[in-house]
């Protein structure tokens, strides 16, 4: 005699599925009933001066007039600066010649800049006073064209 193909687990899954379907149908009917009671809803949404959405229009007396010519589209050009000397001075705070990199502390702003052996014009060691230029690297500004002072 063969066993029944309907197991307890299958029956429970079917009950859950039917219950879920009924709940979904009840929610759908509740939404329809609510829509019949309040057919308009919010027809307009306004943005107040703080950026919040409201259902009341903003006060026209607080309106600010902006001229179209004053609006700049695009990136403004950088102001021409006086030609500065691109070379900077600093002190080598750390340099590992076996690994080929180190750091230089700027004399003016005390910023640390990365230096690689490929950016050296002459060999340097820790505590040497150096002259260098800055270039943008992958992870920030790098010291290049480094030489002793």
Global pTM value: 0.45
Q: Is 90 left (phi over 0), alpha (psi -120 to 50) or beta?
A: beta
Over residues 43-57, the pLDDT tens digits come to: 678 888 788 888 888
At residue 136, φ and ψ (nearest 5 deg) are -75, 130
* 39: confidence class by pLDDT, cuts 50, 70, 90: low
Q: How high is the pLDDT of residue 75?
A: 79
The predicted structure's pLDDT at residue 14: 94
Chain centroid to CA 148:
40
Confidence of residue 146 (pLDDT cuts 50, 70, 90): very high
Q: Report pLDDT digits (tens) over 64-98.
A: 888 998 888 887 777 655 556 688 999 999 999 99
Residue in 136, 133, 28 with CA at minimum distance from that of residue 88: 133
* Separation of alpha carbons 121 and 118, rounded Å: 8
Give residue 62's pLDDT band: very low, low, confident or very high (50, 70, 90). Answer: confident
User: How many whole angstroms separate alpha carbon 19 and alpha carbon 27?
Assistant: 12
């Amino acid at each position: 005699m063969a066993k029944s193909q309907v197991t307890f687990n299958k029956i429970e899954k079917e009950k859950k599925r039917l219950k879920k379907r009924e709940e979904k149908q009840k929610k759908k009917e509740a939404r329809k009933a609510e829509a019949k009671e309040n057919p308009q809803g919010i027809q307009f949404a306004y943005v107040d001066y703080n950026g919040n959405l409201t259902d009341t229009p903003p006060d026209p007396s607080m309106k600010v007039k902006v001229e179209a010519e004053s609006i700049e589209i695009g990136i403004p050009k950088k102001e021409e600066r006086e030609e500065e000397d691109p070379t900077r001075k600093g002190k080598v705070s750390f340099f590992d010649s076996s690994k080929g990199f180190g750091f230089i502390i700027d004399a003016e702003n005390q910023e640390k800049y990365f230096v690689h052996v490929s950016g050296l014009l002459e060999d340097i060691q820790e505590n040497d006073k150096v002259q260098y230029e800055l270039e943008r690297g992958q992870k920030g500004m790098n010291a290049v064209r480094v030489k002793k002072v």
